[in-house]
């Protein structure tokens, strides 16, 4: 079958008419499907239902902590120990907090705005900027937008952003941060390699420049290859910039989304500074939930075992997305995508200038997609080509319908352009 770009004018008109018929049929089907957010499916949540009965007993942790009472700003030691092992950090380099790592990111930036970092000038008194590898996570960009931080996009490759471009930007003292999703980046699936990471850790930057190392998908492998997290804190110390990294993780996509536990891993100085602010905001995190998670996981291997059960449910969904896109778009040479090794998303690049149209067509056919451009600061994808597919939530038959419908919209939009 010839590629769309190779069709004669007549053939192209015929192709377009064919896609219009397919789209009309799609609209007739009256679908109501949602591929917008990377939420776990109900069957994944079921894997952790035991949590609903825990912690049981008297709420006393093995170290004697009465989790029912106030206190313990750093979180329950037993839970910190499990995630210290999983993240490859020391116990005193990680703290366990409440249900959202995104709120830790937000709060750290808000504290820097209000108080500065390490005795430096308050960010609120300066015009500050963050480097934003794109495509990236829309909620990171949302925090920047909400707090008045200028965002500077840099193209994200399969192993990280262009290091030279980042180095040049970071030399500006107004640049205070970079967003990094090091494993299975949302939405491209990129995995930062050691070389890129070391470069980011060693480059000259302001003293209060921080890498927001958001390891939201550190354990969310889709293949048998279970990559270990990079020892980013160790590498930062070796580079002579021990305080450069805030590492985040959470159990939102391990146990319950919105009902899990978040983690901040960083240098002692950074953790002390964070707790110095956080203690005014809360008398301590929810340790009952910490204990519940400790009892449920047992140990680090318990987390790994659970993640393999998630993988068994998710891998077929990602395989299906790849299969449908290959069958439907491949023969026409339309669109580009990669099968990620982990995480929650597939990034579909459609022909330039058509992503907004595809999302609109899909909406009119009852298929909700993340708005085109969402993976870019201010929702502005300069080439209007990225569509984030979130295949985790719908059951397989619905997912198949949705991706097939999406493919129809992609082909129609390409034929129209």
Binding site for ligand PMP (CB under 6 A): 38, 100-102, 137, 181, 186, 214, 216, 250, 252-253, 262
Residue 96 beta carbon to ligand PMP: minimum distance, rounded to whole angstroms: 12
The residue among 45, 44, 43, 52 whose CA lies nearest residue 296 is 52
The residue among 374, 365, 327 whose CA lies nearest residue 347 is 374
Residue 231 beta carbon to ligand PMP: minimum distance, rounded to whole angstroms: 20
Return the DSSP state at 69.
Answer: S
Residue 383 beta carbon to ligand PMP: minimum distance, rounded to whole angstroms: 22
Residue closer to ligand PMP, measured from CB, 93 or 186:
186
Give every CB contact of residue 219 below 8 A, 6+ residues apart in sequence.
86, 226, 254, 303, 304, 307
Residue 252 beta carbon to ligand PMP: minimum distance, rounded to whole angstroms: 3
Residue 187 beta carbon to ligand PMP: minimum distance, rounded to whole angstroms: 9
Residue closer to ligand PMP, measured from CB, 38 or 72:
38
The residue among 211, 184, 128, 412 whose CA lies nearest residue 310 is 184
Residue closer to ligand PMP, measured from CB, 186 or 289:
186
Give every CB contact of residue 102 below 8 A, 6+ residues apart in sequence.
139, 143
Edge to edge, the sheet with strand 150-157 lists 94-96, 262-265, 245-250, 210-214, 175-180, 129-134, 150-157, 160-161
Residue closer to ligand PMP, measured from CB, 186 or 354:
186
Residue closer to ligand PMP, measured from CB, 101 or 266:
101
- Side-chain half-sphere exposure of 370, counting CA atoms within 13 A: 27
Residue closer to ligand PMP, measured from CB, 241 or 250:
250
Residue 119 beta carbon to ligand PMP: minimum distance, rounded to whole angstroms: 29
Structure tokens given for 395: 């059951």
């Amino acid at each position: 079958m010839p590629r769309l770009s190779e069709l004669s004018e007549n053939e192209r008109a015929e192709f377009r008419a064919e896609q219009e018929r397919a789209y009309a049929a799609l609209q007739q089907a009256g679908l109501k499907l949602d591929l917008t957010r990377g939420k776990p499916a109900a069957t994944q949540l079921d894997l952790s239902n035991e949590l609903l009965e825990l912690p049981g007993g008297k709420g006393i942790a093995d170290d004697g902590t009465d989790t029912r009472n106030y206190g313990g700003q750093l979180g329950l030691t037993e839970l910190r120990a499990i995630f210290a092992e999983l993240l490859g950090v020391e116990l005193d380099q990680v703290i366990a907090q409440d249900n959202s790592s995104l709120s830790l990111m937000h709060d750290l930036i808000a504290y820097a705005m209000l108080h500065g970092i390490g005795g430096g000038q308050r960010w609120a008194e300066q015009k500050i900027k963050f480097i934003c590898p794109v495509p990236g996570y829309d909620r990171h960009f949302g925090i920047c937008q909400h707090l008045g931080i200028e965002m500077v996009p840099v193209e994200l490759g399969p192993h990280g952003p262009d290091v030279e471009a980042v180095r040049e930007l970071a030399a500006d003292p107004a640049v205070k941060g970079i967003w990094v999703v090091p494993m299975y980046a949302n939405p491209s699936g990129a995995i930062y390699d050691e070389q890129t990471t070391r470069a980011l850790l060693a480059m000259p930057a302001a003293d209060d420049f921080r890498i927001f190392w958001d390891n939201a998908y550190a354990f969310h492998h889709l293949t048998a290859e279970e990559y270990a997290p990079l020892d980013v804190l160790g590498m930062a110390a070796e580079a002579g910039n021990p305080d450069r990294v805030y590492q985040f993780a959470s159990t939102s996509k391990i146990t319950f989304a919105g009902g899990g536990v978040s983690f901040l891993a960083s240098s002692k100085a950074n953790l002390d500074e964070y707790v110095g602010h956080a203690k005014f905001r809360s008398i301590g995190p929810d340790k009952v939930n910490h204990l519940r998670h400790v009892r449920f996981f047992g140990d680090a291997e318990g987390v790994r075992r659970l993640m393999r059960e998630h993988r068994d449910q998710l891998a077929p969904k990602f395989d299906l997305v790849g299969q449908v896109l290959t069958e439907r778009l491949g023969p026409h040479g339309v669109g580009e995508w990669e099968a990620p090794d982990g995480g929650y998303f597939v990034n579909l690049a459609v022909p330039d200038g058509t992503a907004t149209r595809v999302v609109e067509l899909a909406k009119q056919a009852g298929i909700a997609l993340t708005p085109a451009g969402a993976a870019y600061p201010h929702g502005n994808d300069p080439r209007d080509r990225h569509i984030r597919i979130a295949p985790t939530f719908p059951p397989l038959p619905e997912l198949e319908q949705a991706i097939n419908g999406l493919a129809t919209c992609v082909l129609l939009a390409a034929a129209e352009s």
